[in-house]
């Protein structure tokens, strides 16, 4: 199964960490004429299967829990069903707000489940695999004091994917996990305009957990200059450090660094044009 998340020991317990479930995306597709039945139960089933595979009894979703929908009633019903079913399946459920999650805090509060916790998009700090980790969505700057403490940042938001071509010419796009090694001092200066104690900071970027989507090709999107206002990766400036961006498939198969993947993609395109 295409497990779109990572398992980790968080504050002593084993968690499955995901991002971008985009519950209710099918309603937007229906509005455009694509007749897709509700997918909420399948998303829950996938998450439960991934957690069982990893032996995780707790679940964390780093933003864009829901999708922006044209039908408010359907949106509320699907999100409520999603959260309630996760609550029944896991000992703890943590939801971090993303840019699609307007009104999510009110829905969580209205449901009133004791094992469901909500954080805003700036995220929160936790001990993850023995490291001080900042867990967030990725569309908002984290709190300065959290950033100063962090040794690792885990985020979603950008839906990373990679295009792969085999020896027969078959091309596929697969969701991917990124590990970006950055200079914390330089990133902090770009984020906050002040000197921050340096050292290396690892940023883990998770793929979308919704099976209806795959993501965007990082060899195209992260290797050219961009100024997207709603992702903190613009402060990372990934186009300057492609050799420090490691790309993994969701089963943690290591593909190489972004500069290598970009070169292979470019060579493939040129070869195919001959």
Mean pLDDT in residue range 143-156: 97
The region, left, alpha or beta by phi > 0 then psi within -120 to 50, assigned to residue 75 is alpha
Q: How confident is the model at residue 268 (pLDDT cuts 50, 70, 90)?
A: low
Q: CA end-to-end span of the chain, whole Å?
A: 37
Helical spans, DSSP H, in the chain: 25-31, 40-54, 72-89, 104-111, 144-149, 184-192, 218-221, 233-236, 258-272
Residue 265 pLDDT > 50: yes
Residue 59 pLDDT > 70: yes
Q: What is the pLDDT of residues 77-115, one digit of tens each?
A: 889 999 999 999 999 999 999 999 988 999 999 999 999
1 domain residue, yes or no: no
Paired with 171 in beta bridges are 165
Q: What range defines the domain where residue 126 resides?
A: 6-272
49 domain residue, yes or no: yes
Look up residue 9 and give its two tokens: 């020991």
Of residues 178 and 271, the one with the higher pLDDT is 178
129 domain residue, yes or no: yes
Q: What is the pLDDT of residues 156-170, one digit of tens each?
A: 999 999 998 777 777
Q: How many Cα atoms within 13 Å fall on the side-chain side of residue 161?
A: 17
Yes or no: say if 204 and 157 are a contact pair by the CB < 8 Å rule.
Answer: no
DSSP 8-state assignment for residue 206: P
Residue 247 pLDDT > 90: yes
131 domain residue, yes or no: yes
Domain count, the chain: 1
100 domain residue, yes or no: yes
94 domain residue, yes or no: yes
């Amino acid at each position: 199964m295409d497990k779109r998340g990572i398992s980790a020991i968080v504050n002593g317990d084993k968690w499955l960490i995901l991002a971008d479930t985009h519950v209710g995306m099918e309603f937007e597709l229906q509005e455009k004429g694509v007749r897709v039945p509700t997918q909420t139960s399948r998303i829950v089933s996938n998450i439960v299967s991934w957690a069982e595979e990893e032996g995780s009894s707790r679940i964390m979703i780093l933003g864009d829990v829901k999708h922006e929908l044209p039908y408010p009633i359907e949106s509320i019903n699907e999100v409520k069903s999603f959260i309630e079913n996760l609550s029944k399946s896991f000992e703890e459920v943590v939801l971090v707000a993303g840019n699609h999650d307007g009104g999510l805090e009110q829905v969580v509060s209205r449901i009133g489940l004791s094992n469901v916790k909500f954080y805003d998009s700036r995220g929160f700090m936790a001990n993850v695999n023995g490291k001080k980790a900042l867990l967030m969505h990725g569309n908002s700057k984290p709190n300065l004091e959290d950033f100063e403490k962090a040794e690792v940042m885990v985020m979603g938001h950008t839906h990373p994917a990679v295009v792969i071509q085999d020896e027969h010419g078959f091309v596929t796009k697969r969701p991917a996990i990124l590990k970006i090694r950055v200079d914390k001092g330089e990133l902090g200066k770009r984020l906050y305009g002040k000197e921050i104690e340096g050292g290396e900071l690892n940023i883990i970027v998770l793929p979308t957990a919704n099976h209806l989507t795959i993501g965007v090709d990082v060899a195209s999107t992260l290797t050219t200059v961009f100024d997207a206002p709603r992702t903190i990766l613009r402060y990372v400036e990934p186009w300057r450090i492609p050799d420090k961006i490691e790309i993994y498939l969701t089963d943690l198969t290591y593909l190489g660094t972004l500069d290598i993947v970009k070169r292979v993609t470019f060579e493939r395109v040129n070869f195919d044009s001959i």
